[in-house]
Amino acid sequence: MPNQKNNRPSDSILTRKPFPGSSKVYVGGKENHLHVPMRQIKLSPTKTEKGLEENAPLLVYDTSGPYTDPTVEIDLKKGLNPLRRDWVLSRGDEIGRASCRERV
């Protein structure tokens, strides 16, 4: 729920808890400095004629951003860390524009 004073979400309502039965992991991307967030989901065993058979965890792309990573400090007023900035600028195809912070 937005704070009525400034219409911005407050830090107190930000969900930081990990999803049950899963953990956040990172895998290397094509660029060495980029790490792709994934969610490793623990699966229940499968019943077979021989008994229970364990299943390997399921790895899926995690779209939750840094908000579900307990090792990341979150400050809603500062915004996200520009992790890809140098990589994007090094391509030479970026059309520059002022960021929200620069316009304020």
In this structure, what are the phi and psi dihedrals at residue 39, rounded to the nearest 5 degrees? -115, 120
What pTM, to 2 d.p., does this model score? 0.60
Handedness of CA 12, 18, 19, 21 (dihedral sign): negative
Full domain range(s) for residue 20: 16-103
In a domain, 81, yes or no: yes
Q: How far apart are CA 46 and CA 83, in angstroms?
A: 40
**What pLDDT score does 36 carry?**
86
**What pLDDT score does 77 carry?**
84
Domain count, the chain: 1
In a domain, 71, yes or no: yes
**What pLDDT score does 92 carry?**
81
Using one digit for the tens of pLDDT, what is the confidence trace for 23-38?
A: 999 898 776 667 888 9
In a domain, 2, yes or no: no
In a domain, 84, yes or no: yes
In a domain, 85, yes or no: yes
Using one digit for the tens of pLDDT, what is the confidence trace for 51-104?
A: 999 999 999 999 888 888 888 888 888 888 887 788 788 888 877 666 555 554
In this structure, what are the phi and psi dihedrals at residue 80, rounded to the nearest 5 degrees? -80, 150
In a domain, 4, yes or no: no
Look at residue 1 and tell me whether its pLDDT is greater than 60.
no
In a domain, 3, yes or no: no
Q: How far apart are CA 56 and CA 43, in angstroms?
A: 7
